[in-house]
Amino acid sequence: MSCTALEMRCDAEIDIQMQVGAAAEAVVRIAEEGYAANRPRSSKRERRATKRRIPAAELARVREAVYKQYEEKSVPTLDSILEYLKVSSVVAGWSGVSSTYTWSRATLQRAMTDLGFKFTVGPNHYDLAREKTTIIAQRENFFKKMRKCRAAGRTIYYTDEIWANKNMTPSRTWNNRFLRTRLNVPSGKGARIIVAHVGSLDSWLVQDAGLMFLGKKKRATTIAK
């Protein structure tokens, strides 16, 4: 170290001692060991996670509380789940097995996420119908027949359809929320055109097998004729 650098370091140490009031030995030790240079900046300071660990038994109680409210035909919320956990703990206390775990809204929300629950659109009646025993049996029978046909090398043809309403318009457009940037179309869906076709993996679309027609409405239900 040159004399100039040594003098500058000594002056800096003296200034620090006068401003902070630290001992000379402490200032020299910090400067020599490089603590100040290796110290992270205040804007990038690492914070230790302080998540409270939730017992597995309490997570099971939360899951049961959600399922129980759905069985009672009520929509579960964070407040209703907290109330359910509180009441169930009191009732369980009558038999001497009450829970002493303290819940909060933040902890409960984290528990719901850990259990795989999301605040989003839930399953509808179509999802429920797919889980019926009769539907499951039909699905398994269909898969069994498909495996036999593929094992025998038979050609499998698939049918599909697509439709479009007369008054169908794009859901997203460039607009500024003024009426001049709006398509002037009727509010109803209008007539529906239906296109159906047949194809396979080998021949793709079968020639002259396409069908296009207008759907007719009867008793508020679209019936293709």
130 or 195, which is more confident: 195
Which pLDDT belongs to residue 156? 93
- Residue 58 tokens read as 């309490």
Confidence of residue 143 (pLDDT cuts 50, 70, 90): very high
Mean pLDDT on 62-88 = 89
Nearest C-alpha neighbor of 161 from the set 201, 210, 222, 218: 210
Listed in sequence order, the residues at least 6 apart from 193 whose beta carbon sits closer than 8 Å to its beta carbon are 163, 164, 166, 212, 213, 214, 215
Looking at residue 51, its pLDDT comes to: 59
User: Maximum CA pair distance of the chain?
Assistant: 101
Average pLDDT score, the chain: 78
The average pLDDT across 201-207 equals: 88
Determine the pLDDT at residue 47.
57
10-56: per-residue pLDDT in tens?
Answer: 555 555 555 555 555 665 565 555 555 555 555 556 555 555 688 88
Calpha distance 135→144 (Å, rounded): 14
Q: Which residue has the higher pLDDT, 191 or 143?
A: 143
